[in-house]
Amino acid sequence: MAERFYTLTVADVVVETPDARSVVFEIPDEHADAFSYTAGQFLTLRIPSDRTGSVARCYSLSSAPHENRVQVTVKRTDGGYGSSWICSSLKPGMQVDVLAPAGVFCLTSVDEDFLLFAAGSGITPVMAILKTALEEGSGRVVLVYANRDERSVIFADELRSLAKRYGDRLVVVHWLESVQGLPDVAQLRGLASAYTSHEAFLCGPAPFMAAVREALGQLGVPRERVHVEKFTSLTGNPFESGEPEPEVESDEAPASLTVTLDGDTRSLAWPRRRKLLDRLLDEGMDAPYSCREGQCSACACRIVSGEVKMLHNEVLDAEDIADGIVLACQSLPVTDEVSISYE
């Protein structure tokens, strides 16, 4: 199988806060299509390691597509090997192996009003969504952004500039733990109560997102209008083990698979013990993936008809699954016919 990662040169490293850096990559013309992305997606980077050779880490894109820039923003975390290396050692001119953009925490339409909740480094994909909604849409955007203190507010200057530029289309509400304490469900409900008709996007630590979801639920915001970004630390390394697994032989007749990817619809035989992602890669299809272990959403797709079972899943919740979202890297066919779509 051909290599699926790209070696990119770092064009710039921007100090956002004492503990956060934005990394801007140079994208050669021949890779421009591969790095066309949607606001809210992420990149997977190979981080050098003296112990294992490398580790893989996922970081959200904080740039918006209309800015013609590919930029991730990384906040140093306690004990975080990848974030510490990026914030301390990565310099312009260095090269990094990167997987193409992936992820489903994205706008499906810019023709909405948006309510965005972010905490800490959760602002990263939310910032890309915010800028895209303001640039390409015409609705209002409300951002509630929680941080430990004023010094830890990432993109503070840029948010002030955007608020000035877009006037009453953008409302930014800062919540500082050092002043107000941790926000509880009642307080979050109060902040959201005037915006229950807005499309909501949430990113931040799990307790924060759980509290926001509870607040929005109490306000009657439909679950399908609440979008949550989730990350877990990858235990595998797609840069070191990106080959599809060997096919497991089976006497069972294969299922019939219809897949729509990048506007192209194809019909394939799907062996019963072959994972969906591996089947698509067998056919040379450019199906997205990152961890291959059910720990990220890079390979997520939607079941249009039929049924699959997932062998492992650490990122989709019951509501995602009820909406038909599955992880291709962990899916096996259950019914004789299955139709899927990548959105």
160: part of which helix (H) or strand (E)?
helix 156-166
Bridge partners of residue 146, in order along the sequence: 119, 175
Fold of 5-99: Elongation Factor Tu (Ef-tu); domain 3 (2.40.30)
From CA 299, how far away is CA 330, in angstroms rounded?
9
What was the pLDDT predicted at 292? 84
Residue 139 CB neighbours (<10 A)? 15
| Closest CA relative to residue 263, chosen from 282, 244, 285, 290 | 285
Render each residue's pLDDT in the chain as its tens digit; 343 residues.
334 789 999 999 999 999 999 999 999 999 999 999 999 999 999 999 877 778 889 999 999 999 999 999 999 988 888 999 999 999 999 999 999 998 888 988 999 999 999 999 999 999 999 999 999 999 999 999 999 999 999 999 999 999 999 998 999 999 999 999 999 999 999 999 999 999 999 999 999 999 999 999 999 999 889 999 876 666 667 777 555 555 565 668 999 999 999 889 999 999 999 999 999 999 999 898 877 888 888 899 999 999 999 999 988 888 789 889 999 999 999 999 999 999 7
Residue 337 · residue 306 · CB < 8 Å: yes
Fold of 255-341: Ubiquitin-like (UB roll) (3.10.20)
Fold of 114-228: Rossmann fold (3.40.50)
From CA 81, how far away is CA 296, in angstroms rounded?
18
Residue 73 · residue 24 · CB < 8 Å: no
pTM: 0.84
What was the pLDDT predicted at 308? 97
From CA 43, how far away is CA 37, in angstroms rounded?
10
From CA 4, how far away is CA 17, in angstroms rounded?
33
Give domain limits for the chain. Answer: 5-99, 114-228, 255-341
